[in-house]
Amino acid sequence: MTAVIGLIVGVVVGIFIKPDIPIWLQPYLPIMVVAALDALLGAARSYFERTFNDRVFVISFLSNVITAALLVLLGDQLGVGSQLTTAVIVVLGIRIFSNVSAIRRFIFRG
Amino acid sequence: MSTEKRHATEHAERKHHSTAGEILNTDISKLFKRQRQKDSVNDSLDTSTFPVVHKKTDSAKPERSLGTRIATSCLVVLLCMLLGFGYVTQLRSASDNYESLSEDELVRLLDETNTQVDRLEEQRTLLSSQVTSITNSTDKQRELNEVAKKNATTSGILAGRLACQGQGVTITVSQTGMPIEAARLFTLVEELRNAGAEAIAFNGVRIVASSYIVDTDSGMQVDGVLVSSPYEFKAIGDSNALSNAIQISGGIGSQLRVRYNANVIVRTQSNVVIDELASTRNYQYAKIVE
């Protein structure tokens, strides 16, 4: 519940503030958003599995985001930034799909 | 059984005294021995059961305080806020730059832009050439206007429609007794014309191409206007040439003096003003060729 409220508040703030992203953050922000989404869906899944732990969520959220950003940064420095971005997106996408399917199984019992 | 006691008995049994390290060694070896015995009992297949590993109970988890829980939930909200914020921000920025476009799309965009640039360049060339031609034509028009104005001035002076001034001569012919024939005075005008007079006036009448001087019953007439002695001529032109044309020996000046006994006075002047104007006439037969 708090997570949903936080999400809504964040979206509203983003709409009304209209921030300018600094140029160095531009390649990392989409990756970070996807990673955070993955963490959020993982948290939802664990909530349905009755194993949700807010401390674990916070840690996984931060580690997901930081790992994704660092991977892209590493890729940029090695000259394979776009490929590594794609790889990270693919992996996170797969995880998001598996999380969503687990949640679906809990909700619809099948 | 307390370990202290056991140690004490062991000490008693042993005859020799040992160091602390040896004691520890023997203790650990005993510990391992005991564990092995326990394991062999546990792993014995005679009982046909597997060792039971008890799951950690919930009570094993350390209970967290209320403050920590509030802090973590606040952190959860904050992180979710960050996620939403980042999402919206990215959504906004992705829509208005070319970073999200693929290479093909970028190439296509570039091509389109280049085509547009070419088309605009073409249009610009066309328009600038039009501007040049229009400017040229206005220049030409202005030139024509200037020429026409100059022509109008020239022909205005020639036709006697404009007053003019400049160096020239004034000639006064006074009749003493014998009447002077109109033809003589016309000769005088002709001499002036031959000497390059640009404008001539005779007793207040502008002499133009169609002017005539005739003797009538009532007297001498110039363009229908009666004139009488003294006859006053004004002429604009090279004053020396004009006065020479009259004063030359055997010329019209001496003819008038000798034949008619007239007084002919020629004065060269630096500025002769001829403000007499010829009346414009309507041409009945001559039409302008278009």
**DSSP string of A39-98?**
HHHHHHHHHHTT---HHHHHHHHHHHHHHHHHHHHHHHHHT-HHHHHHHHHHHHHHHHHH
Contact between A26 and B94 under an 8 Å Cβ cutoff? The reply is no
Burial B91-111 (b: 16+ CB within 10 A, else e): eebeeeeeeeeeeeeeeeeee
From the list B75, B82, B99, which residue is nearest A10 (CB)? B82
Per the DSSP assignment, residues forming a β-bridge with B172 are B232, B265
B222 three-state secondary structure: strand
Interface test with chain B among A18, A57, A62, A64, by most B beta carbons within 10 Å:
A57
What pLDDT does B1 receive? 43
* Domain B163-274 part of CATH 3.30.70.1880: yes
What pLDDT does B62 receive? 59
Closest Cα partner for A99 from A62, A51, A64, A48? A48
From the list B83, B88, B89, which residue is nearest A36 (CB)? B83
Name chain A contacts of B84, Cβ cutoff 8 Å: 6-14
B73 shares contact with chain A (CB less than 8 Å): yes
For residue B253, the tally of other CB atoms under 10 A from its CB is: 23
What pLDDT does B57 receive? 59
pTM of this prediction? 0.40
Q: Do A58 and B80 touch (CB under 8 A)?
A: no
What pLDDT does B245 receive? 86
Q: Which residues contact A89 (CB under 8 A, 6 or more apart)?
A: A31, A34
What pLDDT does B214 receive? 87
**Phi-psi category of B101—alpha, beta or left, where left has phi over 0 and alpha has psi -120 to 50?**
beta
Name chain B contacts of A61, Cβ cutoff 8 Å: 79
What pLDDT does B19 receive? 62
Which range marks the domain in which residue A40 is found?
1-109
Q: State the total domains in chain A.
A: 1
Q: Do A36 and B88 touch (CB under 8 A)?
A: no
Amino acid of residue A74? L
Q: Do A10 and B76 touch (CB under 8 A)?
A: no
Residues in chain A, total? 110
What pLDDT does B96 receive? 60
Residues of chain B with pLDDT under 70: 1-24, 44-63, 94-101
Looking at chain A, the whole-number percentage of residues with pLDDT higher than 90 is 24
Higher pLDDT, B101 or A25: A25
What pLDDT does B54 receive? 65
Name chain B contacts of A54, Cβ cutoff 8 Å: 69, 72-73, 75-76
Residues A31-89 pLDDT 10s: 898 999 999 899 888 888 888 888 888 899 999 999 999 998 898 888 888 888 899 99
Name chain A contacts of B92, Cβ cutoff 8 Å: 14, 18
Q: Which chain A residues touch B if contact means CB-CB below 8 Å?
A: 2-15, 18-19, 21, 26, 29-30, 32-33, 36-37, 40, 54-55, 57-58, 61-62
CA distances from B137 to A48, B125, B133 (A): 87, 18, 6
What pLDDT does A93 receive? 93
